[in-house]
Amino acid sequence: MRKLVVICSVLLFATMVWGQGKIDSQWNCEAKPAVEHSIDVGDQPGHAYGIGQGKCTAAKGAMGDVKEQEGTWTQFTDATGTATPNHGVFIVTLASGDKVYYSYHGTSAMKDGKLETGTNKWTITGGTGKMKGVKGEGGCKGKGSPDGAGTWDCNGTYSTAK
């Protein structure tokens, strides 16, 4: 019985010190990146390394009671025809002005230079203001539209210091 009391006390203390939550977000990302550079590798047709940066707007999502507003992605790609492995950083700006930093890696299927589908896994590496020290993990699934824009549905968990 004593062990149970100690374990419950530790769990209660951990819950009081760290705020925990779920992430259920949807991001609408612009069709054209604000910045985009590509270098042809030359070893096979369609193989290129790229770097880009673009913007997304939150269609839904919040961290606690603070809504997500916009996101900026910066990513490296290794395009080989229709398969595009990628990794990058996604910076979310919350309605409070605080920022949350995500590191991600994934793969996108492309057709005619436009997103068809994509998946990624992410970790939250930090933040500013009340989000300083935030940690988390999860993943996203994306779907492209005919104009080249993309919609990403993201789910995961996070914890913050209170």
DSSP string, the chain: -HHHHHHHHHHHHHHHHEEEEEEEEEEEE-SS-SEEEEEE--SSTTEEEEEEEEEEEEEE-EETTEEEEEEEEEEEEEEETTEEEEEEEEEEEETTS-EEEEEEEEEEEEETTEEEEEEEEEEEEEESGGGTT-EEEEEEEEEE-TTS-EEEEEEEEEEEE-
Domains contained in the chain, CATH given: 19-161 (2.40.350.10)
162 falls in which pLDDT band (50, 70, 90)?
Answer: low
pLDDT at 113: 82
- Other Cβ atoms less than 10 A from the Cβ of 152: the count is 22
Rg (CA), the chain: 19
Question: In the predicted model, what is the mean pLDDT of the chain?
Answer: 89
pTM for the predicted model, two decimal places: 0.86
Encode pLDDT of 59-72 as tens digits.
999 999 999 999 99
- Other Cβ atoms less than 10 A from the Cβ of 158: the count is 22
12 falls in which pLDDT band (50, 70, 90)?
Answer: very low
Contacts of 8 (CB under 8 A, 6+ apart): none
Q: Is the pLDDT of residue 92 over 70?
A: yes
Q: Is the pLDDT of residue 118 over 60?
A: yes
Q: Is the pLDDT of residue 17 over 80?
A: no
Quickly tell me which residue has 């030359």 as its tokens: 42
Counting residues of the chain whose pLDDT is more than 90, the rounded percentage is 80
| Range with the poorest average pLDDT among 3-12, 20-29, 141-150 | 3-12
pLDDT at 15: 35
